[in-house]
Structure 1
Amino acid sequence: MVAASCTHPLDLAKVRMQTAARPGANMFGTLLGVVKNEGLLAIYQGLSASLLRQATYSTTRFGVYEYLKEAVSTDKSKPPSTSVLLPISMFSGLVGGIVGNPADVVNIRMQNDKSCPPELRRNYRNAFDGVRRIIVEEGPKALFRGLVPNCVRGVLMTASQVVSYDRMKYLLVSGFGMDEKKRSTHFSASLLAGLVATTVCSPADVVKTRIMNAASNSDSAFGILVKAVKSEGILFAFRGWLPAFIRLGPQTIVTFLVLEQLKASGLGQKRPVLQQQSL
């Protein structure tokens, strides 16, 4: 949630670029257009939904991954092998994608709302109002629109982000002699993890965004994919890559820096149970 608060304007620019009718402005041009046409505070439009998404999606995937990694770890001095971490991370991303899907639908709609014609705007007051209105106006099923591509993205994101972070950190420590506890090590590993995650997740992210922003359930993920390839070419899958990386890079860095500090503080570590002394 801390990371999302820092990078929300970049996430908004990414969503606007992914849902645009045709390729046009770059990230900075998109942000300038938002400020010019909608006001400075508009770059934080949908922040409540973004925070709700992190509180559900990211909390779940990180929590499940760390729990399972600890459960299967036999050597505390190094992480398990990639062949062990990958299925664990993929399962964690799948669970996170399911849990976080409702907030993600509201998040994308709120971020893109002002770019729609006035008659098509939804005008959710906040994330919880968005969830309530979707249930009332479209039915609970609409909260899970785009679930398949969102779960695919969650699997790809978690597998590429957390596994690459663990492996990069281990490589930096064992191969380059960096201190495992220093922030410079965490910064370097998380930056590399953000680069890997952005590239791997871009196609699923673009398709997911378009499905969740659609006005109806008529188009499937495959239908949207085929239509986009025909009209825009295969590179449509990497639209918004630069703002996605500029957003995901800092977000990954802040996320893992905060996570490492929370671990260092002892939060979540098992503590010995004090036995009552007999009187």
Structure 2
Amino acid sequence: MGKRQTSYPFWLGGVGATMAACCTHPLDLAKVRMQTIHPASGPVHPSTLSILRMTVRESGFRSLYTGLSASVLRQMTYSLVRLGAYEKMKASLSKDGPAPGSHLLLAAMLAGALGGLAGNPADILLVRMTSDFVRPPAERYNYSNAVSGMVTLVREEGAHGMFRGLGTNMTRAVLMNGSQVGSYDLFKTMMLRNPIPVIDYQLQDGLLLHAISSVLAGTVATTVCAPADVLRSRLMSAHGVSHPLQVLTTALREEGPRFLFKGWTPAFIRLGPNTVLMFVFFEQLKKGWRTLFPATYLTDSG
């Protein structure tokens, strides 16, 4: 008698990612502002703390959640598709036994590309809403929420405006899903099969395992995705038509190669907790789904 794989709703991952994003949104805001702020003269660069402190001082505590509606829309498009598609692909690949890691990595990257396509319009809104603060008043978009922002975006830039920066965004999404979701499954599997060195402790499939795997996955994902993330933010926040190569060459000339990792610290500070919360929420939602709907967790004869 073997157990049939649990069938989870496609949207479950999107809900878990949305819950995590609501907790870490201020850090996402700081990351985007650091990536899009005009380079200051001199060696001093704004830090995560200084960006957050300046935001609160000039606009109040509530301003830390500027663009939250766009963040929710992004998670319920981008993350819903990338996590949902990956879970479906993984279930299909694993129906006859554990799938090879290379196959799961390819599935994660493909699911990431689909998520990047689905979430591109919300990504544009999120970048613009969170970066408005560091713009001159005359250049601000002033979207009041994600819905009005979407209407304004389509009205002023046409339907093609929703796919500004799509190439870099999909590249980032492929890298993100492969490095975050793929490495999470890899670390989780490795620690389930092997005891932790030195202390010789065998982790069980529970909260501690999920947290450790998530922290490691968040570190890998932040480093792998940093260059594409910076280019995506620059392209989506720009006025007028911009080409990725033009943005890249201009930034390299004016700021040097270190600009590709600009905002790495807030990106990690944000992505680390976000990855932990997302996977913990997702695992708990799956556990709750199995409890509420045990009929989806049956045994096969054979």
TM-score, scaled relative to structure 2: 0.86
Q: Distance in 2 between matches of 1:165 and 1:17?
A: 27
Q: Distance in 1 between matches of 2:146 and 2:190?
A: 40
Which residue in 2 is equivalent to 1:276? none
**Residue type of the alignment partner of 1:169:** K
Which residue in 2 is equivalent to 1:258? 281
Which residue in 2 is equivalent to 1:196? 220
2:57 equivalent to 1:36:
yes
Return the structure number with greater relative CO, CA threshold 8 A, min gap 6: 2
Shift of 1:81: 2.0
Which residue in 1 is equivalent to 2:34? 17
Residue among 231, 234, 249 paired with 1:207:
231
Give matches, 1:232-247, under 5 Å.
232-247=255-270
Which residue in 1 is equivalent to 2:92? 71
Shift of 1:80: 2.2
2:200 equivalent to 1:175:
no
**Residue type of the alignment partner of 1:132:** V
SS of residue in 2 equivalent to 1:25: coil
Q: Distance in 2 between matches of 1:262 and 1:269?
A: 14
Residue among 171, 192, 211 paired with 1:187:
211
Shift of 1:263: 1.5
Give matches, 1:1-279, under 5 Å.
1-22=18-39, 24-74=45-95, 79-176=98-195, 177-180=202-205, 182-217=206-241, 219-266=242-289, 271=296
Shift of 1:270: 6.9
Shift of 1:269: 7.9
Provide structure 2 residue ranges, at least 5 long, that are not aligned to the other structure.
1-17, 196-201
Shift of 1:115: 1.8
Residues 129/17 of structure 1: CA separation in 2 closer, same or farther (3 Å cut): same
Displaced runs of 4 or more, over 6 A: none
Q: Distance in 1 between matches of 2:95 and 2:163?
A: 38
Shift of 1:272: 7.8
**Residue type of the alignment partner of 1:116:** R
Q: Distance in 2 between matches of 1:196 and 1:30?
A: 25
Q: Percent identity?
A: 45
- Deviations along 1:61-80, one digit per CA (max 9) or x if unpaired, are 0000000000011465xx52
Q: Distance in 2 between matches of 1:272 and 1:70?
A: 14
Q: Distance in 2 between matches of 1:183 and 1:248?
A: 18
Provide structure 1 residue ranges, at least 5 long, that are not aligned to the other structure.
274-279
Q: Distance in 2 between matches of 1:178 and 1:75?
A: 25
**Residue type of the alignment partner of 1:265:** G
Residues 220/82 of structure 1: CA separation in 2 closer, same or farther (3 Å cut): same
Q: Distance in 1 between matches of 2:163 and 2:99?
A: 33
- Deviations along 1:24-83, one digit per CA (max 9) or x if unpaired, are 21000111011111221111100000010000000000000000000011465xx52221
Shift of 1:227: 1.0
Shift of 1:123: 1.1
| Count of residue pairs brought into register by the alignment | 269
Q: Distance in 2 between matches of 1:16 and 1:269?
A: 45
**Residue type of the alignment partner of 1:253:** V
